[in-house]
Structure 1
Amino acid sequence: MNITKEQIDELNAVVKVAITKDDYQDKVDAILKDYRKQANIPGFRKGQVPLGLIKKQYGKAVLVDEVNKLIQDNLNKYLTEEKLDVLGNPLPKQQDNFDWDKENFDFEFELGLAPSFEVPLKTKKAITHYKIVADKKMIDEQVERIQRQYGKLVQKSEVGKKDELTGTFKNEEEGIDNKATLELDKVANKKALNALLGKKVGDTVVLNTKGLLKEEYLLAGVLGITSEKAKELTIEVEFTIEEINEREPAELNQELFDKLFGPDTVKSEKELKERIKEDSEKQFEQQSDQKLLNDVTEYFIENTKFELPSGFLTRWIQLTGEKPLTEEQASEEYAKSEKGLRYQLIEGKIINDNDIQIQFDELKEFAKGFIKSQMAQFGQLNPQEEELDNIATRVLSNQDEVKRLSEQLMSQKLISLYKEKVNLKTKEVTYENFVKEVYG
């Protein structure tokens, strides 16, 4: 067998594979002899079918199969040995009137080659890296939320501004008949709020749903309907009050601190606020880092210029998809995927140039950290190391989970690299201003 490469241009090449009878005949003969031993053909005893008859029935199929295996194995080996960085897979060139009755065969394959380019990490333009801080207003609001969450309900005879009302919402036409709790500090409509103030158990108030609550999802909850139905819903509902409760805030004492963080971890209101600030800013850091990763990615895509073998890739999409595509459809698919392909190449270049690797031990530690944070959300703050180790082992036995966690860990490593190498400007903002600036 002989394999040669013809370079068309920097991004395209043709590989020619020449196969002679000596390359495949021994293997074909051995397979046909095995077929003969197993063949059951009427008129012949098992194992006594003439070899000529076996060749006539199966020879062409076995030949085609063995030649294709030879091509696949040796072409892949050639690409590896020659260190050819190809995009997609080799595409066989169409040969009219190909004759499988010949002894020697010639095949040609088109290659799309990855471009050569550099990615300077020291960007010309400074990219904003947000440092999100928890300001006094946010910390005080969080303290108030904690006090309300862990406070106790005190029954009242008359509705006040911060009370929680339990009652039934009704509208016969819309089929609404739902018992729910309405928190008055979530009511956005002043007219509705004024209508409720001063009412007593047993009173019924008519409320308009338009702009009733501060968040759209809350309306679906109190009316017992879907979010889709709650959207743009403008009707009047009758609300009959069955309970009036005031939530008396919990005291900021050691009992509450221990309930929140474990025994003697936090010992004062000042330490509570410091802990809230620290935990909040740790969570904000994840959002800030994701924003940084997105912005650096966009910068590299926009500013790293290289050509792609677009003609080859379009044909590859057209011929190798689940369904056959027209040339126009393939061109549209290529246009959709080009940006993603460019970043895959850029990211691969950055990873290779900076020798970023993921070892199994660090992936396992990363998985354990992820598991620990999930357990903390359900109140398990101090899991045993052995328990974490066992769960991580089970998680990493799933290849989909390995892929997902590896991608997350690689993103973390890239963020660390960008923080060190990319030209960044730090901007300190509150979370509220971060949301306004980033998401509008």
Structure 2
Amino acid sequence: MNITKEQIDDLNAVVKVAITKDDYQEKVDTILKDYKKQANIPGFRKGHVPMGLIKKQYGKSVLVDEVNKLLQDNLNKYLTEEKLDVLGNPLPKQQDNFDWDKENFDFEFELGLAPDFDVNLKSKKAITHYKIIADKKMVDEQVERLQKQYGKLVNKQEVGKKDEVTGTFKNEAEEIDQKTTLELSKIKSKKALDSLVGKKPGDTVSLKTKGLFKEDYLLPSALGIDKEKAEKLNIEVDFTIEEVNEREPAPLDQELFDKLFGKDNVKSEKELKERIKEDSEKQFEQQSDQKLLNDVTENFIDTVKFDLPSEFLRKWIQMTGEKPLTEEEAKAEYEKSEKGLRYQLIEGKIIQENNLQVQFDELKEFAKGFIKSQMAQYGQLNPAEEELDNIAARVMGNQDEVKRLSEQLMSQKLLNLYKEKANLKTKEVTYENFVKEVYG
């Protein structure tokens, strides 16, 4: 067997594979002999079918299979040994006059080669790294929410502006019949609010669905309908009041502090606010880090310039998908995926040049940290190390989970690298201003 490479340009090459009879014949003969031993053909005893008949019946298919296996194995070996960084997979060139009845075969494969380029982690223009702070307004609002959440309900006989009203929404035409509890502080419509205030259990008021709540997501659950229907709904619904309650805020005392953070971990209102501020800003770090990762990624895509073997890649997309694509479809698909491919190449180079690796032990510890945070959401704040090890072992036995966690850990390593070496400028903002600035 002989394999040679013809370099077309920096991004394209053709690999030629010449296979002779000596490369495959011994293997083909061995397989045909096995067929002869096992063949059941009418008129012949098992194991006594003439080899000529075996060759006639199975010879061509065995030859094709073995040549293709030989071709694939040796082509992959060649690409590895020659350290050829290919994009996609080798594409076989069409041969109109190919003849399987010959003894020697020649094959050609087109290759799309990865470009050579440099990545400078320190960009000319500084990238904003947001430090999101929990300001006094946010902390005070969170304290109020906690007081309300842990407060007690006091039954009333008349609706006030800040009360919770339990009742049933009805509209026969739209088949709405849903019992719900309304927090009047979440009602947006002044007309609806005026209709409710002063009413008593047993009273029925008519409310317009359009613009009823400050947040649109509240309407579907209040009426017991799906989101799509709620978005288009603009009708009058009857609301019959059944119960009125005022939520009396919980006092800022040790009982509340212990409920929130465990016994004696917080001992004053000042410490409560400091803890809320600290916990909130830790949560904000995830959003800030994701924003930084996105911005650094976009910056690399915009500033790291290199060509791709685009014609080869369009052809590869056209020929290797689940179903054949037209040239126009393949071009459109390539244009959609080009940006992602560029960053994949850039990221791969950064990982290689900075020797970033995911080791098994650190992946296991990362998995345990992830499991621990998940358990904390369900109130299990101090799981035993043995329990964490057992759960982590089950997770590490799932290849899909291992892949997902490996990608997350590598993203964390890249993020740490960017924080250390990229050209960043820190900008301190409140969460409200962060949302305005980032999401508009």
Cross-structure match for 2:375: 375
Cross-structure match for 1:32: 32
In structure 1, C-alpha distance between the alignment counterparts of 2:207 and 2:403, rounded to whole Å: 51
What is the TM-score of this pair, normalised by structure 1? Answer: 0.98
Q: CA deviation at 1:168?
A: 1.5
Cross-structure match for 2:256: 256
Cross-structure match for 2:436: 436
Which segment is superposed worse, 403-412 or 172-181?
172-181
In structure 1, C-alpha distance between the alignment counterparts of 2:302 and 2:397, rounded to whole Å: 38
Q: CA deviation at 1:398?
A: 1.2
In structure 2, C-alpha distance between the alignment counterparts of 1:52 and 1:206, rounded to whole Å: 92
1:164-210 Cα offsets, whole Å, 9 max, x none, are 11112222222222211111111111222122222222222222222
Cross-structure match for 2:215: 215
In structure 2, C-alpha distance between the alignment counterparts of 1:112 and 1:189, rounded to whole Å: 61
1:134 aligns with 2:134: yes
Cross-structure match for 1:8: 8
Cross-structure match for 2:102: 102
In the TM superposition, what are the counterparts of 1:92-241 in structure 2 within 5 Å? Answer: 92-241=92-241
In the TM superposition, what are the counterparts of 1:264-275 in structure 2 within 5 Å? Answer: 264-275=264-275
Cross-structure match for 2:59: 59
1:41 partner amino acid: I
In structure 1, C-alpha distance between the alignment counterparts of 2:177 and 2:326, rounded to whole Å: 55
Q: State the aligned residue count.
A: 440
In the TM superposition, what are the counterparts of 1:360-371 in structure 2 within 5 Å? Answer: 360-371=360-371
Q: CA deviation at 1:233?
A: 2.2
- The SS at the match of 2:14 is strand
1:28-49 Cα offsets, whole Å, 9 max, x none, are 1111111111111112111111
What is the TM-score of this pair, normalised by structure 2? Answer: 0.98
Q: CA deviation at 1:392?
A: 1.3
Q: CA deviation at 1:347?
A: 0.6
In structure 1, C-alpha distance between the alignment counterparts of 2:238 and 2:334, rounded to whole Å: 56
Q: CA deviation at 1:21?
A: 1.2
Which segment is superposed worse, 114-123 or 149-158?
149-158
- The SS at the match of 1:142 is helix
2:254 partner amino acid: Q
- The SS at the match of 1:231 is helix
- The SS at the match of 1:216 is coil
In structure 1, C-alpha distance between the alignment counterparts of 2:172 and 2:39, rounded to whole Å: 77
2:366 partner amino acid: F
1:433 partner amino acid: N
2:71 partner amino acid: I
In structure 2, C-alpha distance between the alignment counterparts of 1:222 and 1:25, rounded to whole Å: 76
- The SS at the match of 2:437 is helix
- The SS at the match of 2:179 is strand
Q: CA deviation at 1:348?
A: 0.4
2:304 partner amino acid: T
Cross-structure match for 2:48: 48
Which segment is superposed worse, 93-102 or 130-139?
93-102
Q: Could you say what the CA RMSD is over the residues aligned between the two structures, in angstroms? A: 1.1
Which segment is superposed worse, 208-217 or 122-131?
208-217
Cross-structure match for 1:71: 71
In structure 2, C-alpha distance between the alignment counterparts of 1:308 and 1:180, rounded to whole Å: 58
In structure 2, C-alpha distance between the alignment counterparts of 1:99 and 1:168, rounded to whole Å: 79
Cross-structure match for 1:424: 424
2:25 partner amino acid: Q
- The SS at the match of 1:159 is coil
1:361-393 Cα offsets, whole Å, 9 max, x none, are 111111111111111111111111111111111
Cross-structure match for 1:405: 405
In structure 1, C-alpha distance between the alignment counterparts of 2:105 and 2:173, rounded to whole Å: 78
1:266 partner amino acid: V
1:287 aligns with 2:291: no
Cross-structure match for 2:354: 354
- The SS at the match of 1:242 is strand
2:5 partner amino acid: K
In structure 1, C-alpha distance between the alignment counterparts of 2:55 and 2:234, rounded to whole Å: 80
2:134 partner amino acid: A
In structure 1, C-alpha distance between the alignment counterparts of 2:218 and 2:277, rounded to whole Å: 28
In structure 2, C-alpha distance between the alignment counterparts of 1:3 and 1:139, rounded to whole Å: 70
In structure 2, C-alpha distance between the alignment counterparts of 1:137 and 1:202, rounded to whole Å: 39
In structure 2, C-alpha distance between the alignment counterparts of 1:54 and 1:157, rounded to whole Å: 96
In structure 1, C-alpha distance between the alignment counterparts of 2:392 and 2:384, rounded to whole Å: 12
In structure 2, C-alpha distance between the alignment counterparts of 1:281 and 1:170, rounded to whole Å: 43
Question: Which ranges of structure 2 fall in alignment gaps of 5 or more residues?
Answer: none
2:315 partner amino acid: R
Which segment is superposed worse, 13-22 or 228-237?
228-237
In structure 1, C-alpha distance between the alignment counterparts of 2:129 and 2:211, rounded to whole Å: 37
- The SS at the match of 1:251 is coil
2:233 partner amino acid: L
1:108 partner amino acid: E
In structure 1, C-alpha distance between the alignment counterparts of 2:27 and 2:244, rounded to whole Å: 88
Q: CA deviation at 1:77?
A: 0.5
